[in-house]
Amino acid sequence: AGRKDGKIRMRRYVTATEAPETVQEALKRPSQRSTEKIMGIVNPIIENIRTKGDAALLEYTHKFEKATSVTTPVLKAPFPDSLMQLPPETIEAIDVSYENIRRFHAAQKEEKPLLVETMPGVVCSRFARAIERVGLYVPGGTAVLPSTALMLGVPAMVAGCKKIVIASPPRADGSLTPEIVYVAHKVGAESIVLAGGAQAVAAMAYGTESVSKVDKILGPGNQFVTAAKMIVSNDTSAGVSIDMPAGPSEVLVVADKTANPAFVASDLLSQAEHGVDSQVICIAVDLNEDQLAAIENELDKQANALPRVDIVRGAIEHSITLVTKDIDEAMALSNAYAPEHLILQIEGAEDVVSMVQNAGSVFIGSWTPESVGDYSAGVNHSLPTYGYAKQYSGVNLASYVKHITSSNLTKEGLRNVGPAVMQMAKVEELEAHRRAVSLRLAAMDEEK
């Protein structure tokens, strides 16, 4: 499909007439910038934070955020009201979103420990504990992202994390986005770190004079943030874990002839406006030329009316429409792609959910635009990208929880399981292991 007419249009492939390799190639994510180069920038930043602490953190905030008026890198709770002055309609929107996210994540709580008697007298148990200290990265840059603060902060609060640290780059005048301060207040954050990028990640991983060290770092961010998360989580001396690898946002819309072309176009565009590296895919199930043209015309018309039309143009450059013969083929392609967001604008959409194997979050039917999940429905918007939906879950309550197991044996229990343990220890030639059981069995015999 040509774009010589200047229209904003996705390349179109009809799977019945294309080689499978061509379709696979078209479904590839746009390649990301060389990680080696990024590592070369990020490693020295991390090292500087480790060795020079707050002084280095401030230096980077002055350099990257141009916020030279910032002289203390951390704002501790309670946060002053003057820093969260917002119009009532914004407060209302944040409060509604907060409550829905809280309800959905509270329902994910495990009420009781798991308890199983595997043999008479051998009781195994598993119980959950919230990770004590979490660091939440809320991207700054140009956008205001209170939704990300909600998506990361509310489950941390619901899980019962004792210390919630939020890091976000300040604006050039040194101030924090009031929406983020308001969310930090609502979720009971201990502090806000006024820093961004690799330096903010390193400060939370190792701690500085004023930044609290955390046990896990969660949150999206640009390539510097992502690289820093990978590096600190690989450093055993930091003792910190991360949520998941992050890449540019993406959506896959499956549409059949019952789909409203204007709705389909608006969903594709709501991801395309995220960034030039975003990718959007439309799988058209058995649509004819007129129906395809209707979607394409809507896309062009709506895109040109958007304030971020230039970003959209960039994203659409590497976005495609695939025309398939039926829903089975459409879902097979979608599962192979493993989209971050999957939108089903098809007849009987609810019944097709059983065919979804790989996706971050699914939006079912024509009245469920993906933006409801980005903000206010209750589901989380921190989701696996770049095909990682094949093995990762999005952020959820379990992201803030770990499990501890316990065993509790009676004398009878040890008699029952002891012989197996001793034989296993013998096979592995671990004599102390074997004796830990045999000594006890002998003691039982003596008691008699």
Active site residues: 340-341
CA distance 174 to 66: 8
Nearer to ligand NAD, 65 or 296 (CB): 65
At its nearest, how many Å lie between ligand NAD and the CB of residue 439?
55
By CB under 6 A, residue 145 contacts ligand NAD: yes
Q: Contacts by 225-228 with C-beta closer than 8 Å and gap 24+? A: 225/137, 225/139, 225/196, 225/197, 225/198, 225/200, 225/201, 227/35, 227/38, 227/39, 227/42, 227/198, 228/42, 228/45, 228/46, 228/197, 228/198, 228/201, 228/202
Closest CB 117 distance from ligand NAD, rounded Å: 43
**Per rule CB under 6 A, is residue 346 in the interface with ligand NAD?**
no
Query: Edge-to-edge strand order for the sheet containing 341-345?
Result: 11-14, 320-324, 279-285, 250-255, 341-345, 361-364
User: Which is closer to ligand NAD, CB of 263 or CB of 388?
Assistant: 388
Binding range to ligand NAD, per CB under 6 A, among 15-23, 192-200, 255-263, 362-370: 192-200
- Asked whether the beta carbons of 60 and 54 are under 8 A apart, the reply is no
Of 21-29, 142-150, 185-193, 301-309, which part binds ligand NAD (CB under 6 A)?
142-150
Is 155 a residue that touches ligand NAD (CB under 6 A)? no
Question: Between 242 and 261, how does the x/- string for binding to ligand NAD read (CB under 6 A)?
Answer: ------xx------------
Q: Which position among 381, 400, 401, 437 is part of the footprint of ligand NAD (CB under 6 A)?
A: 381
- Please identify, among the stretches 119-127, 195-203, 330-338, 398-406, the one whose residues bind ligand NAD according to the rule CB under 6 A: 195-203
324 forms part of the interface with ligand NAD (CB under 6 A): no
Residues contacting residue 445 through CB under 8 Å, at least 6 positions apart: none
Question: Closest Cα partner for 100 from 148, 137, 154, 152?
Answer: 154
Integer Cα distance of 83 and 98 in angstroms: 19
Q: Which is nearer to ligand NAD, 219 or 418 (CB)?
A: 219
Q: Does 369 bind ligand NAD (CB under 6 A)?
A: no
Does 382 help bind ligand NAD (rule: CB under 6 A)? yes
- Hey, which residues does 123 pair with through a beta bridge? 117, 408
Spatial distance between the Cα atoms of 251 and 212, rounded to a whole number of angstroms: 36
Please enumerate in sequence order all residues whose Cβ is within 8 A of that of 55, keeping only pairs 6 or more positions apart, or say none.
none
Which of 160, 275, 314, 369 binds ligand NAD (CB under 6 A)? It is 275
Which parts of this chain interact with ligand NAD (CB under 6 A)? 41, 64-65, 139-143, 145, 148, 169, 196-197, 199, 220-222, 224-225, 248-249, 274-275, 381-382
